Chains A and B, each alone.
Chain A
Amino acid sequence: MSRYEPLDDAADAVASRLPAPMGSLIDRERPLHFTFEGETYRGFAGDSIASALAAHGRLVLSRSFKYHRPRGALTLAGQDANTLVQLPDEPNVLADVRRLEDGLSVTGQNYSGSLDHDRDMRLGKFARFMPVGFYYRAFYKPRGAWKRWEPLIRRKAGLGRFDLDARGSYHDKAYLFTDVMVVGSGPAGLSAALTAAEGGARVLLVEQQPQLGGSLTYARFDIDGRRGERLRDELVSVVARHPSIRVMCDATCNGWFTDNYLPVIQGRRMFKVRAKECIVASGSFDQPAIFRNNDLPGVMLASAAQRLMRHYAVKPGRRAVVLTGNDDGYLAALDLHEQGIEVAALADMRPSPENPALAEALAAAGIPVRAEQTVYEALHDKSLHRVTGVELRRIVGTGDVADQGQRIDCDLLCMTAGYMPVYQLLCQAGGRLRYDDEAAEFSISGLPAHLHIAGSVNALHDLDRVSEDGVRAATEALRALGHDVPMPQRSAPAPRRVNHPWPIFPHPKGKAFVDFDEDLQIEDILNATRHGYRDVQLVKRFSTVGMGPSQGRHSALPTARLVARATDRSVSETGVTTARPPFTAETLGHLAGRGFDPFRLTPMHRRHEALGAHMMPAGHWRRPAYYPATDGSLARERCMQEEARQVREKVGMIDVSTLGGLEIRGPDAAEFINRLYTFGFLKQPVGRTRYAVMTSEQGVVIDDGVSCRLAEDHFYVTATTSGVTNVHRSMLQWNARWRLDVDIANVTSAFAAINLAGPLSRQVLETLCDDVDLSAEAFPYLELRTGHVAGIPARLLRVGFVGELGYEIHVPSRYGEALWDRLMEAGAAFGLRPFGVEAQRLLRLEKGHVIIGQDTDGMSHPEEIGLGWAVNRKKPFFVGRRAVDILAAQPQKRRLVGFRLPASSAKPREGQLVLEGETITGNVTSCEYSPTLGAVIGLAYAAPEKAAPGSQITLRVDGGQEITAEVVALPFFDPDNTRQEL
């Protein structure tokens, strides 16, 4: 029975399935083809990869992480790592939940050779040499050994493989708002949703499975076997049609974030739900028993076998043994029997079932019950491809069995040892797990307001109580929403024991797995505690238990029990490790969404594009770095120098719309500016501009700009492109304390601006401007006028970053393009050319102007960078005043200086070092060849004693070469500033 040949035609595939009503998820009218490991299989629409393969008797889906043991589905519900398979462009796909598609090509992963014959399985033979944490004990001797071992170990580790050329498919996001969100649509969730909706709330019901009903869709609740279905039909028919309930199936609520902010993943979309109230009815995870070879394919949870039958009409095996720690195993045995699977035995780890009628029902079905017995070992043939039998033994103590047992042949072993609440969302919200020693079960308490719990996750396991609990939770939610509804009467709890307290049976030969993902056995957990890792968090970190893809869904409970016993503490004290988001592994595509990449364009952007400008990022903006040279070249140096020369000799213009713009209005406007910037602004005349430097409280220069006084109570202040957001924020922050009577607005994008510069700039402007007298006498340097340029309302500033006669023209954004065009037209006769950021940087460097952020760093204070003149020491206060004073009084550590090198010299790069012997005394911040000066010029921090013009400083340039540069006075060009003041 170890080989299951793929069936050849669809008729066989149909024939191999169980008759309806089994197979609630499949559409038998729609057969599909797919391949697994190169062989073709058939399934139906609605099948999962794993169910379709199981219909062909194909159970082996994967190889385990460490020992490469063959593995098959454990839960059939996407809760284990055993079903991880590889798609061509996607690793680690859960075969038991991934819906089958026609033509899908699926392979196993993490093997060498083939999935069925994995050469790495020999690693299992060395298991005794690979104790828990073995990698801490070896591979580092002799020195450097790890360098050789690590690549080998890395290749063995990892599961699937990326297709490195694959690109994510389309994903997007949406927001949803609801009064009540219900997570899970089992009996508790359905009742809760219905109660909440009937009570007047808008309800969002989120179900991970393709159909509503949770356990009602696969589990059996009574001997007759009809109860679940009846209840489901009854509830679903109402819920699905209810106008106030929005149902989302195939949707996973994947995390709980503060204030019920709940991501729900459905299809290619991540909904971000904000729920006023949230009811978690997430159910509980069926738990495996721990015995030798409990990981063999064909050993699965009873609920997995039930899912295979009910959802997919697949016969999970031919001859089964059921191992149970509760009454649910009996019901599962009846399900198997009804579907024509021979149940060779039911081993009950307890002396008897709680409900005596179950024993009778099994007897009537001819199923032998072995009370107080367990599977001591699952048997297999050489391949380990499928369980071939079990050895049953009598339980004689906690985890202890008799010396002798009985072997029974089977190809299916269904187990259910108890339940673990699906606590993940609740614990992410701060819920605490408490272990009830009596019930041998964890329960959850300590939830925040507006978060409710209902059903089996709330440690209730009787169907009536579960439904009632849904009603109770919904009523609580309704009351929290302000609906006046009475709390329902609660029936006396009918305790059902569902958890066996110790379903853990060590075997001298091991291979009794606690954590299937990580191949961890009972001894591994115990040995971790023996090494001194006693806290469950340390056990996790040392052994990696619970760190695999299933994140401890099946290992948390036995680990807590084992560690508690080994360290002589209670299970409650031991606890489980922290549950962290997400609930199920989520693809990065879902999180990334559509990948917005916002950036800003100036109003003149299309003109730059049309001119073929080379663009560069500047903060969130894109700016022209330079335009093509006259010969069409886009070589940086050539373009930059040509543009610079044009500005120096004739006239150029640059788009400076990205400059920050801030409007400060109100009676206290001058006072406000005066406190924020280092200069004096109280007496700044209307119609004048003034350079403005901003320092932090640490005295560090953080921004600069120009303050323009448009009226007594109205300032327009510019800021650096990348600094304006912070400047605006800090203005608001400061005024939250100062409470000055001002309005502060960031108007950066409301204005477009062009700096027209060069000896001919006045002539160009004069052709376009008839309401402002542009003569040097009427509109001198540093003055400010408002008027019209080409009929466009404009603010004209006579400032000169590049050191030429020039005008900054600020106009409303919508006129930016028009202004550009009019200036280009008017300038044509004067040789006007646009210039980019690179030329501007060169021109300002020639003038020795610093760029904040380039020539300054997180420590630069005004004195250091030669801006002491921009600090008013007479005024009582500005932000950073105290620090600036202290720094100015201290001996300087460094000083920003200008340096000059012959044109033939190696050009230092910005960022390279200034040295004094072996000591670093500074660094180059700006450096460029200046065609105007015929020399390499730059700014650099240097030791203060080297600041005097004529000093020599040593620069270390490319290749470690050290060169000597001469410190020169700033500015390099036009030292008397005659040109800008024309």
Chain B
Amino acid sequence: MPFALLKYGLSSDYPAEQDLPPPKALAASYDVVIIGGGGHGLAIAYYLAKYHGITKVAVLEKAYLGGGNTARNTAVIRSNYLTSEGVRFYAESVKLFQNLSHEFDFNIMYSERGQLTLAHTDATVRAFRQRAEVNKHFGGRTEMIDRQQIAELVPTLNLDPGHLPVLEGLWHRDGATARHDAVAWGYAKEAAKRGVEIHQLTEVEDLIIEGGRLTGVKTNRGTVRCGCAVQAVAGHSSVLAAKAGFRLPIVSYPLQAMVTQPVKPFLDPLVSSSALHCYVQQTSRGEVVFGGGSDPYPLYATRSTLELKESLIASAVEMFPFLAKARLMRQWGGITDMTPDYSPIMGESPVENYYLDAGWGTWGFKATPICGQTMAELIAGGGKVPELIRPFHLARFANFQQVNEMGATAASH
């Protein structure tokens, strides 16, 4: 019996710690307005308060906390990217994740299961080897493993699905998962504790821009002035940017995931197949989660489809044939803001005092801590761009300095 639980059983009153603050009125102005109360927005708020002493901060969330892509992603944490820029960035994120439970005093259930990505063609083997090599170079624990090693790691996996036998695997020991909601709540709790205001059901309807500078936002609950604002609204980044008067090189596609009823543990690592466009993991509750590629058409609706479910599950059953007897309980969708190079857009925007935390495609959750930390540093520094996120500036698309992660994101998110 962990000590932390004794107080619940032994005290006569239920000691309900307030994780999330109760609603309150909007102030007339803030130093920083953060648009979007998902993991990213809340993380920015937390790090602003923690490291930079900036607490006159409002996080404005149009619905409920962490209800967008924070709630919809499949909680994969990994750093086995392809480019030096990407690997450095995501590796820092993994490090921060590892300490979050302690930082929050709230168990985010960070679980280092390792991630195995299967290569079924020699072209994929080549691409994966490059990722492994780049990862190792930056100190990551990633290696190529052969069929024998794969069979030992995941004995339940079918190594010969259809006509595409598994050749080798990219084994990323640092791969992990965590309770995605808890990450958002932990940031919210600790940010609120430091004085950050969190306003749910508060939708930013327009931005107030005067002479090229952002001075405030209009919400459904009134106008708020601010020193600066940052948008952290994955799934609607280009919509909000349009209100700020500029275009982002983003196309938004739905991405779906689904989950079975809980069963006893049979799978530890996160397993994904590049050829079958499917990844599989088992949560600590015992549910089996499946995800795959984005839907093939741009859309802002989070509806789920039968077609994707059929093809994704057919792949999952190829990988783990006994899953044919499992029962699917729920499917859902999110919206992914895809950039041309599959890397995020972070930093300054064409509007002064307006910062971008956008273009998070399918890689947003795993970047939550590092994104929060670097964006906070950027905002607190008045626009001085931290080294780690310099490659992700919006201008890279005009300057042909893209950070191409295309091969490192497909179907393993």
Beyond known contacts A162-B323, A532-B18, A923-B130: 12 more, CB 8 A cutoff:
A128-B8, A129-B6, A138-B107, A158-B264, A159-B264, A164-B156, A257-B304, A549-B329, A578-B332, A599-B163, A857-B407, A910-B125
B243 at interface (Cβ–Cβ under 8 A)? Answer: no
A912/B133 contact (C-beta < 8 A), A533-B19, A587-B325 known = yes
Q: List which B25-65 residues lie within 8 A (CB) of chain A.
A: 63-65
* Closest B residue by C-beta to A153: B284
C-alpha gap A882/B121 in the complex (Å): 34
The segment from B109-117, B228-236, B382-390 that touches chain A is B109-117
A883/B121 contact (C-beta < 8 A), A131-B8, A587-B324, A588-B313 known = no
A527/B404 contact (C-beta < 8 A), A131-B8, A853-B123, A911-B127 known = no
Q: Residue-by-residue, is A509-548 near B (CB-CB < 8 Å gives 1, otherwise 0)? A: 0000000000000010001001111110110011010001
A-side contacts of B310, CB under 8 Å: 173, 591-593
C-alpha gap A690/B217 in the complex (Å): 58
The segment from B204-212, B219-227, B255-263, B368-376 that touches chain A is B255-263
C-alpha gap A403/B137 in the complex (Å): 72
C-alpha gap A854/B121 in the complex (Å): 12
Q: Residue-by-residue, is A106-135 near B (CB-CB < 8 Å gives 1, otherwise 0)? A: 000010000000000000001011110011
Q: How far is the CB of A734 from chain B (nearest CB, A)?
A: 18
C-alpha gap A167/B317 in the complex (Å): 9
What interface size band does chain A fall in? 35 or more
Taking a contact as CB atoms under 8 Å apart, the answer to whether A150 and B133 are in contact is no
B-side contacts of A263, CB under 8 Å: 306
C-alpha gap A821/B315 in the complex (Å): 38
Taking a contact as CB atoms under 8 Å apart, the answer to whether A159 and B318 are in contact is no
A154 at interface (Cβ–Cβ under 8 A)? Answer: yes
Of A617, A698, A890, most buried by chain B (CB within 10 Å of CB) is A617
Of B23, B128, B182, most buried by chain A (CB within 10 Å of CB) is B182
A858/B1 contact (C-beta < 8 A), A531-B16, A586-B327 known = no
C-alpha gap A669/B181 in the complex (Å): 56
A-side contacts of B136, CB under 8 Å: 960
Can you name 10 A-B pairs with beta carbons within 8 Å?
Answer: A130-B5, A154-B286, A160-B264, A161-B264, A162-B263, A531-B16, A549-B261, A588-B260, A588-B317, A699-B400
B-side contacts of A165, CB under 8 Å: 322
Taking a contact as CB atoms under 8 Å apart, the answer to whether A588 and B326 are in contact is yes
Taking a contact as CB atoms under 8 Å apart, the answer to whether A592 and B313 are in contact is yes
B381 at interface (Cβ–Cβ under 8 A)? Answer: no
A597 at interface (Cβ–Cβ under 8 A)? Answer: yes
* Contact partner, A551, options B17, B263, B285, B329, Cβ 8 Å: B329
A361 at interface (Cβ–Cβ under 8 A)? Answer: no
* Contact partner, A140, options B5, B6, B107, B156, Cβ 8 Å: B107
Taking a contact as CB atoms under 8 Å apart, the answer to whether A154 and B265 are in contact is yes
Of B71, B163, B317, most buried by chain A (CB within 10 Å of CB) is B317
A-side contacts of B127, CB under 8 Å: 911
A-side contacts of B306, CB under 8 Å: 255, 257, 261, 263, 272, 581
Residues of A within 8 A of B (CB): 65, 84, 89-92, 110, 126, 128-131, 134-141, 143, 146-147, 149-151, 153-155, 157-169, 171, 173, 255, 257-258, 261, 263, 272, 523, 527, 530-535, 537-538, 541-542, 544, 548-549, 551, 578, 580-582, 585-589, 591-593, 595-597, 599, 616-618, 622, 698-699, 853-854, 857-859, 883, 886-887, 890, 909-913, 919-920, 923, 925, 956, 960
Interface size for B (C-beta < 8 A) is: 97
C-alpha gap A584/B18 in the complex (Å): 36
Taking a contact as CB atoms under 8 Å apart, the answer to whether A159 and B261 are in contact is yes
Q: Residue-by-residue, is B299-339 near A (CB-CB < 8 Å gives 1, otherwise 0)? A: 00001111001100110111001111111111110000000
Of A143, A150, A538, A698, most buried by chain B (CB within 10 Å of CB) is A538
Taking a contact as CB atoms under 8 Å apart, the answer to whether B404 and A858 are in contact is yes
Taking a contact as CB atoms under 8 Å apart, the answer to whether A531 and B19 are in contact is yes
8 closest cross-chain pairs (CB), A and B: A168-B324, A158-B286, A911-B129, A532-B20, A597-B162, A585-B327, A530-B16, A138-B2
B67 at interface (Cβ–Cβ under 8 A)? Answer: yes
A-side contacts of B20, CB under 8 Å: 531-534, 538
Taking a contact as CB atoms under 8 Å apart, the answer to whether B266 and A527 are in contact is no
* Closest B residue by C-beta to A158: B286
Q: How far is the CB of B24 from chain A (nearest CB, A)?
A: 12
Taking a contact as CB atoms under 8 Å apart, the answer to whether B264 and A258 are in contact is no
Q: List which B128-166 residues lie within 8 A (CB) of chain A.
A: 128-134, 136-137, 156, 162-164
A-side contacts of B305, CB under 8 Å: 257-258
* Contact partner, B314, options A128, A548, A592, Cβ 8 Å: A592
A-side contacts of B109, CB under 8 Å: 135, 146, 150
Taking a contact as CB atoms under 8 Å apart, the answer to whether A129 and B309 are in contact is no
Taking a contact as CB atoms under 8 Å apart, the answer to whether A134 and B8 are in contact is yes
A-side contacts of B295, CB under 8 Å: none
Q: How far is the CB of A961 from chain B (nearest CB, A)?
A: 12
Taking a contact as CB atoms under 8 Å apart, the answer to whether A163 and B328 are in contact is no
* Closest A residue by C-beta to B186: A136
Q: How far is the CB of A226 from chain B (nearest CB, A)?
A: 39
* Contact partner, B14, options A523, A589, A599, Cβ 8 Å: A523
Taking a contact as CB atoms under 8 Å apart, the answer to whether B64 and A538 are in contact is yes
B242 at interface (Cβ–Cβ under 8 A)? Answer: no
Taking a contact as CB atoms under 8 Å apart, the answer to whether A592 and B317 are in contact is yes
C-alpha gap A150/B113 in the complex (Å): 11
* Closest B residue by C-beta to A145: B2
A137/B5 contact (C-beta < 8 A), A258-B303, A858-B404 known = yes
Taking a contact as CB atoms under 8 Å apart, the answer to whether B321 and A168 are in contact is yes
Q: How far is the CB of A894 from chain B (nearest CB, A)?
A: 12
B-side contacts of A139, CB under 8 Å: 2, 107
A-side contacts of B125, CB under 8 Å: 910-911
Taking a contact as CB atoms under 8 Å apart, the answer to whether B326 and A910 are in contact is no
C-alpha gap A857/B322 in the complex (Å): 37
* Closest A residue by C-beta to B111: A150
C-alpha gap A185/B156 in the complex (Å): 42
A-side contacts of B107, CB under 8 Å: 135-140, 146
Q: How far is the CB of B202 from chain A (nearest CB, A)?
A: 13
B-side contacts of A919, CB under 8 Å: 84
Taking a contact as CB atoms under 8 Å apart, the answer to whether B14 and A527 are in contact is yes
B298 at interface (Cβ–Cβ under 8 A)? Answer: no
* Closest A residue by C-beta to B99: A143
Of B64, B107, B137, B266, most buried by chain A (CB within 10 Å of CB) is B107
A167/B322 contact (C-beta < 8 A), A532-B20, A588-B328 known = yes
C-alpha gap A859/B401 in the complex (Å): 9
B-side contacts of A157, CB under 8 Å: 262, 284-286
B245 at interface (Cβ–Cβ under 8 A)? Answer: no
C-alpha gap A141/B264 in the complex (Å): 25
A586/B328 contact (C-beta < 8 A), A128-B8, A617-B120 known = yes
Taking a contact as CB atoms under 8 Å apart, the answer to whether B128 and A582 are in contact is no
Taking a contact as CB atoms under 8 Å apart, the answer to whether B129 and A588 are in contact is no
C-alpha gap A196/B328 in the complex (Å): 33
B-side contacts of A166, CB under 8 Å: 321-322, 324-325
Q: How far is the CB of A698 from chain B (nearest CB, A)?
A: 7
Q: How far is the CB of A563 from chain B (nearest CB, A)?
A: 12
* Closest B residue by C-beta to A169: B324
Taking a contact as CB atoms under 8 Å apart, the answer to whether B16 and A591 are in contact is no
Of B112, B200, B304, most buried by chain A (CB within 10 Å of CB) is B304
A-side contacts of B5, CB under 8 Å: 129-131, 134, 137-138
Q: How far is the CB of A326 from chain B (nearest CB, A)?
A: 31
B195 at interface (Cβ–Cβ under 8 A)? Answer: no
C-alpha gap A879/B48 in the complex (Å): 45
* Contact partner, B263, options A92, A137, A261, A595, Cβ 8 Å: A92
B-side contacts of A155, CB under 8 Å: 264-265
Q: How far is the CB of B15 from chain A (nearest CB, A)?
A: 9
Taking a contact as CB atoms under 8 Å apart, the answer to whether B102 and A140 are in contact is yes
Q: How far is the CB of A614 from chain B (nearest CB, A)?
A: 12
C-alpha gap A157/B179 in the complex (Å): 15
Taking a contact as CB atoms under 8 Å apart, the answer to whether A92 and B327 are in contact is yes
C-alpha gap A164/B266 in the complex (Å): 9
* Closest A residue by C-beta to B156: A164
